[in-house]
Amino acid sequence: MRIAQVSAHTSPLAPLGGRETGGMNIYVLELSRELARLGYEVDIFTRRDGDLPHVEEIADGLRLVRIDAGPAEPIEKQEIVGHLPEFHANMRRFIEDQPEGYDLIHSHYWQSGWAGTLLARELDLPHVVMFHTLGEVKNRARFGEQEPKVRIRHERTIARRATAIVTASDHERQLLERYYAADPARMHTVPCGIDLDLFQPRDREAARERLRLDRDTPVLLWVGRLEKLKGVEILVDAVAGLERRDFTLLIVGGDERAAEIRAELEAQAAAASISAHVRFEGAVPHGLLPWYYSAADICVVPSYYESFGLVAVEAMASGTPVVASRVGGLVSTVIDGVTGYLIPWRCPGPFAEKIEVLLGNPELRANFSRAAQRSVERFRWSSIGLRIADVYDAARERHLAGRNEGVTVQVFGKEAWEAAVLAR
């Protein structure tokens, strides 16, 4: 089977830790690698944003195809919306020039979903979509989030038209039913995967020496994109409220476009007189993250929403207990009181309380660590790849059944899309 993976707004090869690069990039790349190992031929389509080859071979059976759409340079995610008709047209042109076509389109995020929906109709192919995040859910998760109405409107249309929808958790599935009226029969819950050969416990002293950390000082860790929805300000206030002052907080992630949020956090730390205890590491290579997890005593995930919570799973695979918000997919990845703690309130006090409990009880941390490592085996990529392959088989069967019944699907076209963009 030949698969067209669509990741329009961000390349899976882009450096991690930037404002638009994170768990989805890892997911698309690692899923595609696993599918290629299973014998699929996979092309990942993304917008060309630099002086890079149009087609790049990543592995046997796996290529990255960069499609011209707008300027060949990084631009804001919101600006990509206006270039999606060009992305769709050039992607179709590339497909038509190939000696072999594709058997299925798998789109990631709503912008890719728009292009994938249109291409699936034009090429008569099954369309699988994974949203990764949902505009309606983000707006409800935190006051001040302002995802555009055009996004939410098109997410609803994509959800209705998709042959199959992959959700990372049961909670995401329920949200799609509640806010998007998605058909439960078309949804398949498959968690995100993790490279358990990369993320595993490493020698703590070696990790701290490598990261220039004191051997005996407690280390707290936060990893992710620096954005408001990740709740980093909650963590800064939480550690400011700790009775002890013998700790180091590592904040890993954020590129130059996150400079404003970083400045706000630095000012917050200074106002709380904890600047000497907080280190902003910026974006780090993916292969270096296991050393951070292994160096830390606790990984804190204070997000307002997470569709899955990849950071928590990476931490647990590395043997690091987690203190996380009781939201979204974190409820299905962190076992409260066994592999970490889930906090139902997005405020500093409860986070500080559980951090104090864990820092003051090495035996408890060790128990959580052992349980955490056992709990993540279900996220191994070899298992996840097979489950996604089953979704593809089901989508093809559904598509063929619809074709045999003469079902036609009407979706928005180029003119309707441009009108929607102008009206937002």
The predicted pLDDT at position 21 comes to: 60
d(CA 232, CA 251): 9
d(CA 103, CA 81): 26
**DSSP string across 167-178:** ESSHHHHHHHHH
The pLDDT tens digits of the residues spanning 211-242 come to 999 999 999 999 998 989 999 999 999 999 99
Write the burial class of residue 259 (CB in 10 Å: 0-12 exposed, 13-18 middle, 19+ buried). Answer: exposed
d(CA 380, CA 111): 28
The pLDDT tens digits of the residues spanning 350-367 come to 999 999 999 999 999 999
The pLDDT tens digits of the residues spanning 267-282 come to 999 999 999 999 999 9
The helix/strand/coil state of 59 is strand
Element (H, E) at 57: strand 55-59
The predicted pLDDT at position 169 comes to: 94
The pLDDT tens digits of the residues spanning 113-165 come to 999 999 999 999 999 999 999 999 999 988 777 888 999 999 999 999 999 99
For residue 127, which phi and psi values (nearest 5 degrees)? Answer: -125, 120
The predicted pLDDT at position 77 comes to: 80
The pLDDT tens digits of the residues spanning 403-424 come to 767 654 444 555 554 444 434 4
d(CA 261, CA 267): 10
Tokens of 111: 């912008």
- pLDDT band of residue 390 (cuts 50, 70, 90) is very high
Buried b (16+ CB within 10 A) or exposed e, 189-205: bbbbbbbbeebebbebe
Model pTM score: 0.90
Domains recognised in the chain with CATH numbers: 2-193+381-423 (3.40.50.2000), 204-377 (3.40.50.2000)
d(CA 236, CA 222): 10
In sequence order, the β-bridge partners of residue 250 are 221, 279
